[in-house]
Structures are given as C-alpha cells and as structure tokens.
Amino acid sequence: MIEMKELNLKNKTVLIRVDFNVPIHNNRITSDARIRASIPTIELALKQNAKVIIMSHLGRPKEGQYQKIFSLLPIVEYLKKVFINTNIYFSEKLKKICMNPGDLLVLENVRFNAGEKNNDIHLSKQYASLCDVFVMDAFGSAHRKESSTFGVGMFAKIACAGPLFVSEIKALRTALKNPNRPMIAIVGGSKISTKFQLLQSLSKIADTVIVGGGIANTFLAIDYNIGKSLHEKEFINTAKKIRDKYNILIPVDSRVGTEFSKLSNAIVKKPFEIQEEEEIMDLGDKSMSNIENIIKKAKTILWNGPLGVFEFPKFRIGTERLAKSIAQSDAFSIAGGGETLSVIDMLNIQDQISYISTGGAAFLQFVEGQKLPTISMLEAVKKTIENLK
C-alpha cells in the first residue's frame, strides 16, 4: 500500500476516512478512544498545510435519511476543543467549499448518503471529486466494501493508507505471524456463532485460548446443565470438537445470579452446582486465579471481549481482574473490539496495553485470516500506479 507519510500533502485537499463511530449519550461522547486514535493522522495532514476533509459513519441510521441522533455535530464540537487554532467547518452536503490550507472540514455522517452501503459508483465518484488524495485510516471499517471506504479509493487521484491504519495492520501481523511465546488469546462475548472462525484461527496459533461470557457457557454446556445461562445449544458439538483438539481454558467456577439484573446477588458456584433458575454472568475466583497465572507467563496476549456482564458491578470482577492482569503484564498485548475498548476506558488502563485496535468486526476478520476489501483496494491502487511508471 502507498502510505500517507510518503506523500507531499502541501496545499493538497486530503479526504480522510476516519472511524468516529463512538458512543454518544445525550449529545455527550462517552468513549473518545477512536477519536483520540485518529488525531495524529489529522495533525499530520494539517502540519503539511493541507486542506483536510474528514468523513465517518456513526451508528445505524436508515440510509439516505437525516437523523439528528446520528449527527456528527457532537464530534465537531469535540474537535474544536482539540484543534483550537484551526478553522473547523461542518457540511451536511457533499460539495466543494472554499477552504484555505490548514483548514479542517467535517462531513456529515456518510450513512445519511443514499448508496453508501452498496458502494454506489456515483456516490464514490462524488467523494473522490472532493479531494486530491484519499486517505483510508479507518481500520474499524476496513471490512466494509462501501463508497466511503472502498469505492472512493478506486476513483480518487491517489489513495493511500493512513498512519493509524498501517499501525493496526503491523501490530496484528506481529502478534499473529511470529508471536513471542507463550501466546495467550482471550475470547469473550455472548455468542460462539459469531466468533467460531476466530476461535478456530486463534486455537491454531495460540498456546492457550481463554474463553469467557456466553462463549464459555457453550463450552460448559458440553458436560453440565448450566440452568438458564446464555449459550448456544446448536454449537455445543462444535465447541466439543474445538475443546478436544486444542488447548481451551474453560472456567472451573462461575458467578451466578437468579435474574439478569445489576441487583441480582452474585454467588460463586462450580458448574455441577448450578441450578435450573440460575444463570452464569461472570467467572469465579478459582477460574480467575488460573487465568492470572497463565497471563503472568505470557509473552504475547490478544484480547477480544469481556468475560462476563461487566455492565453490572457484581458481575464485573472477572473482566476487571483480567484487564488489570493484562495491564500489569510485560507481554506484548493487543486488545480489540467495541466492548473491550469500553472496559479499557472504564478502568483507565489505555497506557498499559501495548496496542489497542480500534477495529471490531475488521479486527475479528483480520485475525481470522480473511483479506479485508479495503486492503485489497489499496494494494491494487499501488500496483496500478507502479505499472504506469
């Protein structure tokens, strides 16, 4: 891929696709991790005296329709506090506006534009017409073949990878291709069905795979009656095949409650002790001690997903102990996924994780070994340019 840092951006109009899909509640950004990750890329373009345009999606509005709740206006206000000496504009229309070098323009949510998700050729050309250089810097959207991530790059004068995008790929390749060992992978979350391929891929390269959440429950259901705990019955046989073939660390005790509520009492039980009316919502103390001992010896750690219902304080203990154990480790650690970022923000351990990936589904697909369409597009652009020389 052509990298943004290789290009002279002076006086050029640079369109940067960022990932500003952040949680916003009552017009307040509750986690700014993805915005903060993009700031250095924007600063690099501004310092080169470029005219900078940024675009992103936010949430899941009905395509082609404006919905105030999904507007990027709160993010514009955030950026004004970061770039206090920069002229910052906001546009709801896809049209060229008069800008000076060093100015910053934020386009409204790309999903308000009809044809975005379908990679509409006319919309892609419209994006491309706004710039001299297109920069793909949204790794979190790298798996989407859409107009603002893929199509624009096919029609822009030049398309390149931004610093954040490049660093995400390099960090993941470092962990996956030649990891220092022992390599530990932690896979949490509610459904094994959405992470089956991830489990398969990580099991082949990790020395130990630690499972939590509903995924762990599905493994427990192989041998135990786990009451009304969240799990996927149709994946029990699949889980058994993975367990029997690879080194999967399954909980030996759990925190259970009788209702899915933060008010529910948390009781630590072994799997065979769980009653019909109880549900697993976190890992138990013995399970966590086993995990902490493994993490202490690790040299590479890849973490995706919480171990339990971390939104409920009584069932946050496992996830909190896991996060702090990773933060205190000397291993090269990579954490990725939306819920994982929320945990890291909540515990304020950003500086203690070696690399935090902004990607969710893109992170998973990359780890699974899938080729992301935007990477293929950027590689094709470079090849085309090289062939023209």
Q: Is 107 exposed, middle or buried (0-12, 13-18, 19+ CB in 10 A)?
A: buried
**C-alpha dihedral over 201, 202, 206, 209, to 10 degrees?**
-140
Per-residue pLDDT at 389 exceeds 80 = no
Quick one: which H or E segment has residue 62?
none
- What was the pLDDT predicted at 345? 87
Q: Which two tokens stand for residue 83?
A: 């770039």
- Strand ranges in the chain using DSSP code E only, listed in sequence order: 13-17, 24-25, 28-29, 51-55, 88-91, 104-107, 133-136, 159-161, 183-187, 208-211, 248-249, 254-257, 267-269, 279-283, 300-304, 332-336, 355-357
Q: pLDDT by residue (tens digit) across 361-370?
A: 788 888 888 8
pLDDT band at 181 (very low <50, low <70, confident <90, very high): very high
Q: Record the pTM.
A: 0.82
Q: pLDDT by residue (tens digit) across 136-161?
A: 999 989 999 999 999 999 999 999 99
Which among 3, 89, 6 has a CA at the least distance from the CA of 54?
89
